Structure 1
Amino acid sequence: MEQNFVKADSSNLPKVDYEMIDEYYRHNDDFVKANVRNVKTQRSGKQSYGDEAIGFVQLLREGSICTVKCQVTPEHKIHEKGYQVTICINEAEEKITHSVCHSCPASEGGCKHGVALMFWLLRRSTEPSVTSVVCYWRKPTLAKVGSSLKAAKLNELFKNVPPFASHNNSFLKKLLEKGLENKSKGILFEYYKTEENAIDKVSLYHLIN
């Protein structure tokens, strides 16, 4: 946490509404028109991304100016260091005055990470009041994905898979006997060979039987 900043929670966040975001888009040169229309930028404003990607929210109030900073997890590189996003809000005038995403190549002209924080603040502002205080100084949920997973070899992953049990169908048995007798190379007979490997066990045919 930066000096003089405090942990953000449900009791101290600044209020943000749709009019403030719209006003910022229309009058601030940080967001070019083409970028605002971009599909990725629009998607970043949705709850499905922002609420999972944003964490470690902190804020500082100096007079009527409230500065909010957070960490936004990259959408496609979730285990890399998150982007640091800063938004300044004039609470007296109810106006977003500044938004920047540090170290992001797309920050010139605005980027989706700033959009994600704006709409995250909007959702927090419109949530019904709760009896307990919710702290937002926590690791982004998206950054935790896969942190406990370990690589596994295919033969280890399926070593406990039971052997394939053939059906007790007399027609099938006769067909298999005839095929083996004629040394048929058909695909069906590949699944009834006596020797199996790990790859055979994960075939669709074996998994549905």
Structure 2
Amino acid sequence: MNTNEKIKRRYNRISSIYEVMDKMIKAEWRLNLLSNISGNVLEVGVGTGANFPFYPTYTKSLTGVDFSKGMLKQAQEKLVKGRYPFPIRLMEADIQELPFPDDMFDTVVSTCVFCSVPDPLLGLKELKRVCKPNGQILLLEHVRSDQMWVGIVMDLLNPLTVRLWGANINRETINTIERSGLKVEMNKNLMGSIFRELSVSPNK
């Protein structure tokens, strides 16, 4: 079984309880991030749809993709129960091979996704490809701590978190963003140096 399939199975398995785990992302972080969106939005790794209530009413459209059917099922239930003043479309898709043409979206959103993407560099290059040249990519990510001893602890715990739900807690995502050709415009610490709010330019 390849890495993609292993991670899919893990997220399908925990999809019904994922929102309990997802509480680590504070509501104010989601609200601050999504208050900056514009135009047609793509959310990658949409998960259970936890971000839906935080999108502003002026959102033009939202396309949410995830490679876990279990997570998408939870998100679909939110659409049935909730009322949103903008169209939302959900699709099963892999962030490493997005089924969209180049330069399609004004804003691309990701919240704590790149910890579990098998090839994060490939995934970030896909975000760059589908984002318009004058668009923006907004991310909330947890990354390896800049503090030496905290970083070492995260390295030690990482095999356990990967085994449990496929998430790497020690990725140096900022470096990967820069390697992908994207340009970091804003890098805000939210919890020490572990959680970051990032605004990224496609830099085309």
Q: TM-score scaled to structure 2, two decimals?
A: 0.27
Larger Rg: 1
Q: TM-score scaled to structure 1, two decimals?
A: 0.27
